[in-house]
Amino acid sequence: MNVERFQYDDDIVRKFMWATLIWGLVGMLVGVIIALQLAFWQGNMGIPWLTFGRLRPLHTNAVIFAFAGNSIFAGMYYSTQRLLKTRLFSDALTRIHFWGWQLIIVSAAITLPLGYTTSKEYAELEWPIDIAITLVWVVMAVNFFGTIWKRRERHLYVAIWFYIASIVTVAVLHIVNSLELPVAFLKSYSLYAGVQDALVQWWYGHNAVAFFLTTPFLGMMYYFMPKVAEGPIYSYRLSIIHFWSLVFLYIWTGPHHLLFTALPDWAQTLGMLLSLMLIAPSWGGMINGLLTLRGGWHKLRDDPIIKFMVVAITFYGMSTFEGPMLAIKSLNMLTHYTDWIISHVHGGALGWNGFLTFGMAYWMIPRLYNTKLYSLKLANVHFWLGLLGILTYMISMYISGLTQGLMLLDFDAEGYLVYPTFIETVATIIPFYWLRLFGGVMYITGLIIMLFNLLKTVSGVKAPADMEAEAVPFKRTTLKGKFHYILEAKPILFTILTIIAVLIGSVIEIVPMLAIESNVPSISNVKPYTPLELEGRDLYIREGCNNCHSQMVRPLRAETERYGDYSKAGEFVYDHPFLWGSRRTGPDLHRIGGKYPNLWHLRHMEDPRAIVKESIMPSYAWLLTDTLDYGNIKAKVEAMTKLGVPYTEADISGAEAALKRQAAEIAADLSESGVQGMEDKEITALIAYLQRLGTDIKE
Amino acid sequence: MLKNVISQGNFAIWPSISLVIFTLTFLGILLWIYRKNAAKHYHDMANMILDDDCKQPETKNGR
């Protein structure tokens, strides 16, 4: 028998594993900082790049793409080599992948706090970084599929299917959602507008959860859970059903982020129904993971790694039950825009992604260094601190979300809103923000203990040479058997079928939205933004206002009473990108235009507490002193024209003059109120934008 | 025509048929997956993972 000897590339797995833990610490630390700022608004110390609006995208990007991303690559590279019985395709590509990905993370850590953002959630990075992500992803994909090509194991194990689905789908999602027109080195506008942009964004956003935070982790679950449990997966048959139904159904569910919005009802209903159906495959996966431990549950008593894994899968099950429930319109009406959603996502992120990563790290690192874990006791302490941290975090956010949601919908016997001002609801939930902070600190303390434990584990230990292995190469003979038996040995066909499975839902939802005009009824009154409003909109994006304020009045009585007429699809046709938001830490702003005088906005941005005593909004005093940079205004108006916004040639050539004219008008108004010298300040542009919001169809 | 069939057909029996189809499919899948790793290929694939550095056979967990 011809046995070939080779070595696994374990050095790259070590690199990705340490990157996971270091970036995890950074990402979670930023999370703790912004959690503090919600409880204690002074937490940003008056520094623009430390404000919630700028740091929140950094937090989400760091935990998703840096922490979870590196964790995926570590787990994927470790398991793929062993499942395919081969070294990774190319050492050079592997290193380009590693360093390229770290460079992207560093770029994000620099640009996001500086306010360079597209505003689209989990896709905030600007176009040059988007291109870098695409290139690094392609490098990784070539390396991964190259490894499959040179494999010695003919059939692909289920973990590999999930990696394939993740790699191809994330590529599709990233490219389609990131289509944008650059106007400067770090500034671009989304190709899509308003409702269409919202649909594409949440098709991407929810499937970032699906194909970045779920499917690759399921792949790792299918590898590491049997390893840790020391037994085969419960039902390989179930894994087949799990895989195909999950990848087919998940892609449809994005519209459940847009229930009761201006998105056409058919798309909302489709999103809701498919989200409900998703319970079945998700729970199939959870059951398959948990039952892998059947007969070995006693190990939970002593083995912290199994504890981490089992709790991770349990959180996966809870999140994937809660998600579909939240996608039901009648519950979504209450929970959307509240902290309930924050609780839900952290159950998934901290419980599922975090704990699976920790379990994997505790399992892998001693093996990668050919040593033993320094302290099982510390690992147990980490487990309990982490678990209690998650529960504290989630329970406080459940109470907070439920409280605020109910208060916002409450009417008295006479039919008036019981809490007409938004701030009353915010003031009520502040204690829970402190509790959430406490939960977050517990969780990150656990991570620090883990880092100490693992550093002690490897201290004084020289990283061993790559592990030797041997395997018999498979002969390419004709396979006979059932369809899936053959399919598992045909990676190209498998990949094509996976792409088809994810494209069906994508095409059915997105193409009609882009192609059929009646989905976005036009409103003749709606006009493009003036140049100054456009600059103000860009400042709104730069400061991340959309992280706390929605621009979408839902057709619910409580909302129309509180904010004004509900938002219509036709009002957003010139919004590149859309700015509907997903969480209301502050009130909705879609009908804010004309509601207050210019001076109100100026004073409110300068010191929110001067206007609303209990406000937790940061002070944006620098907007009153910083000069507006309108050097790119002509390019911006031109770019908008290319995107279909009906500016005339005169609008483009006269953009700068028009901007100055409108700024002078606002400055004159402010001057009458006693505030001088605002014509060239950033605040003037922001006021122009805010005063325009929702006024096109206002009576 | 398709729209007519779906929305104007007014077949009162459709919900019942859907429920029966769903139940049969669900039960079929349940039975199929409950056979777990029966048949050589499924058994081999499920155990493939234990080949490289794990020394414990399937019986370890009491199966």
> Which pLDDT tens digit goes with each residue over A306-330?
999 999 999 999 999 999 999 999 9
- Round to whole Å and give the CA distance between A691 and A683: 12
Q: Give the pLDDT score at B37.
A: 85
Alpha-carbon torsion, ordered A643, A646, A652, A654, to 10 deg: -150
Closest CA to A526 of A474, A484, A478, A567: A567
* Residue B40 pLDDT > 90: no
Instruction: Estimate to the nearest angstrom the gap between the alpha carbon of A637 and the chain centroid.
Output: 30
Q: Is B7 on the interface with A (CB under 8 A)?
A: no
**ipTM value > 0.90:** no
Radius of gyration of chain A (CA): 26
> Are A234 and B36 inside 8 Å of each other by CB?
yes
Tell me the residue type at A90: S
Q: A584-640 pLDDT, tens per residue?
A: 999 999 999 999 999 999 999 999 999 999 999 999 999 999 999 999 999 999 999
The span from the CA of A110 to the CA of A58, in Å, is 9
Cα→Cα distances A102→A16, A65, A95, A205, Å: 10, 10, 11, 22
- From the centroid of its chain, how far is CA A312? 19
Length of chain A: 699
Q: Which residues of B touch A235 (CB under 8 A)?
A: 33-37
Query: What average pLDDT score do residues A359-384 get?
Result: 97
What pLDDT score does A520 carry? 85
The mean per-residue pLDDT over the stretch A417-440 comes to: 97
CB count within 10 Å of CB A182 equals 16
How far, in Å, CA of A252 to CA of A203, rounded? Answer: 7
Q: Which two tokens stand for residue A55?
A: 């740091």
Please give the pLDDT value at position B62. 37
CB contact under 8 A, B46 and A295: no
Query: A500-514 pLDDT, tens per residue?
Result: 999 999 999 999 999
Chain A: residue nearest B59 by CA? A231
* Residue B4: band (very low, low, confident or very high) from pLDDT cuts 50, 70, 90: low
Q: What is the pLDDT of residues A632-671, one digit of tens each?
A: 999 999 999 999 999 999 999 999 999 999 999 999 999 9
Shortest Cα distance from B11 to chain A (angstroms)? 22
The chain B residue lying nearest A485, using CA atoms, is B41
Q: Which residue of B has its CA nearest to A292?
A: B61
3-class DSSP state for residue A157? coil
**Residue A668 to residue A595: CA distance in whole angstroms:** 19
Among the listed residues A95, A106, A99, A97, the one whose alpha carbon sits nearest the alpha carbon of residue A129: A106
Which of A67, A294, A195 is CA-nearest to residue A519?
A195
> What are the structure tokens assigned to A571, written together?
């009002």
Is it the case that residue A334 has pLDDT exceeding 50?
Answer: yes
What is the crossing angle of helices A655-672 and A598-606, to 10°? 90
Query: Sign (positive/negative) of CA torsion B15, B19, B20, B25?
Result: positive
Set of chain B residues whose Cβ sits within 8 Å of the Cβ of A488: 45
Query: What is the spatial distance between Cα A338 and Cα A409, in angstroms, rounded to a whole number?
Result: 12
| pLDDT at residue B5, rounded to an integer | 65
Quick check: A296 and B56 CB within 8 A?
no
Q: How confident is the model at residue B6 (pLDDT cuts 50, 70, 90)?
A: low
Find which of B3, B36, B47 to mutate to test the A interface (most A CBs within 10 Å of its CB). Answer: B36
Split at pLDDT 50, 70, 90, the class of B57 is very low
**Cβ separation of A227 and B49 shorter than 8 Å?**
yes
**What integer is the mean pLDDT of A282-310?**
94
- Output the pLDDT for position B54: 42
Give the nearest partner residue to A236 out of B42, B50, B53, using CB atoms.
Answer: B42
From A158, which residue of chain B is nearest by alpha-carbon distance? B45
In chain A, residues with a C-beta closer than 8 Å to the C-beta of B45 are 155, 157-158, 236, 488
Return the percentage of chain A with pLDDT > 70, whole number: 100
Element (H, E) at B39: none
pLDDT tens readout for residues A73-100:
999 999 999 999 999 999 999 999 999 9
- For residue B61, pLDDT over 50 is answered with no
To which residue do tokens 């414990």 refer? B56
Distance in angstroms (rounded) separating the CA atoms of residues A104 and A13: 19
* CB contact (8 A) between residue A294 and residue B61: yes
Q: What are residue A469's phi and psi, to 5 degrees?
A: -150, 165
Alpha-carbon distance of A555 to A560, in angstroms, equals: 7
Q: Are A558 and A334 in contact (CB under 8 A)?
A: no
Closest chain B CA to residue A296: B61
Residues 6+ apart with CB under 8 A from A8: A81, A82, A87, A466, A467, A469
Within 510-549 of A, beta carbons closer than 8 Å to B belong to: none
Q: Does A557 touch chain B (CB under 8 A)?
A: no
Contact A349, A214 (CB under 8 A): no
Contact between chains at B60 and A231 (C-beta distance less than 8 A): yes
| Contact residues, chain A, for B50 at CB < 8 Å | 226-227, 230-232
pLDDT category of residue B1 using cuts at 50, 70 and 90:
low
pLDDT tens track for A389-403: 999 999 999 999 999
Q: Do A293 and B37 touch (CB under 8 A)?
A: no
Decide if A232 and B49 are in contact by the 8 Å CB cutoff. yes
| Percentage of the residues of chain A whose pLDDT score is greater than 90 | 95
Helix (H, G, I), strand (E, B) or coil at A681: strand
Q: Which residue in chain A is spatially nearest to B45 when comparing CA positions?
A: A157
Q: Are A238 and B33 a contacting pair at CB < 8 A?
A: yes
Closest CA to A236 of A297, A156, A308: A156
**What is chain A's mean pLDDT, rounded?**
96
Bond into A577 cis (ω within 30) = yes
State residue A630 phi and psi, 5-degree precision: -110, 25
Of B37, B54, B61, the CB nearest to A236: B37
Residue A1 CB neighbours (<10 A):
3
| A294 contacts on B by Cβ (under 8 Å) | 61-63
| CA dihedral sign, ordered A556, A273, A351, A209 | negative
Say what the alpha-carbon torsion angle A452, A71, A209, A323 is, to the nearest 10 degrees.
-50
CB A20 within 8 A of CB A94: no
Contact B33 A284 (CB under 8 A): yes
Closest C-alpha among A585, A539, A516 to residue A682: A539
Give the one of A229, A236, A488 whose C-beta lies nearest to B46's C-beta: A236
Could you give the CA distance from residue A280 to residue A284 in angstroms, rounded to a whole number?
A: 6
Nearest residue of B to residue A154, measured between CA atoms: B45
Does A365 score more than 60 pLDDT?
Answer: yes
Average pLDDT, integer, range A460-475: 91
Minimal-distance CA residue of chain A relative to B50: A227
Q: Model confidence over A44-79: pLDDT tens digits?
A: 999 999 999 999 999 999 999 999 999 999 999 999
* Confidence at B15, pLDDT banded by 50, 70, 90: confident
Give me the mean pLDDT over the A450-477 stretch.
93
Burial classification of residue A446, based on how many CB atoms lie within 10 Å of its CB (0-12 exposed, 13-18 middle, 19 or more buried): buried
Show residues of chain A in contact with B58, CB under 8 Å.
Answer: 231-232
CA nearest neighbour of A430 among A662, A567, A585: A585
> Is residue A317 exposed (0-12), middle (13-18) or buried (19+ Cβ within 10 Å)?
buried
Quick: pLDDT tens for A180-210: 999 999 999 999 999 999 999 999 999 999 9
Q: How large is the average pLDDT for residues A552-560? A: 97
On whether the CB atoms of residues A589 and A692 are closer than 8 A, the answer is no
Which of A230, A235, A485 is opposite residue B54, by nearest beta carbon? A230
pLDDT of A246 > 70? The answer is yes
List chain A residues with CB under 8 Å of B42.
236-237
Please report, as a single letter, which amino acid is at residue A566. Answer: Y
Q: For residue A230, which residues of chain B lie inside 8 Å, CB to CB? A: 50, 54, 56, 60-61
Place of tokens 């110390």: A45
The mean per-residue pLDDT over the stretch A21-48 comes to: 97
Check residue A516 and give its pLDDT.
Answer: 86
To test the contact with chain B by mutation, choose from A154, A234, A237, A239 the residue with the greatest count of B C-beta atoms within 10 A, namely: A237
DSSP alpha helix (H) spans, A62-185: 69-84, 91-111, 127-149, 158-177
Closest CA to A71 of A25, A103, A8: A25
Show which of residues 136-165 on chain A sit within 8 Å of chain B, judged by CB atoms. Answer: 153, 155, 157-158
Quote the CA–CA distance of A439 and A398 in Å, as a whole number: 13
Q: Among residues A425, A427, A432, A424, which one has the least CA distance to residue A405? A: A425
Q: What is the CA radius of gyration of chain B?
A: 22
Nearest CA in chain B to A486: B41
Contact between A232 and B62 using a beta-carbon 8 Å cutoff: no
Mean pLDDT for chain B?
Answer: 74
Q: Does B6 touch chain A (CB under 8 A)?
A: no
Which pLDDT score, from 0 to 100, does residue A383 have?
98
Number of residues assigned to chain B: 63
Whether the pLDDT of residue A566 is over 70: the answer is yes
What would the two tokens of residue B9 be?
């057909």
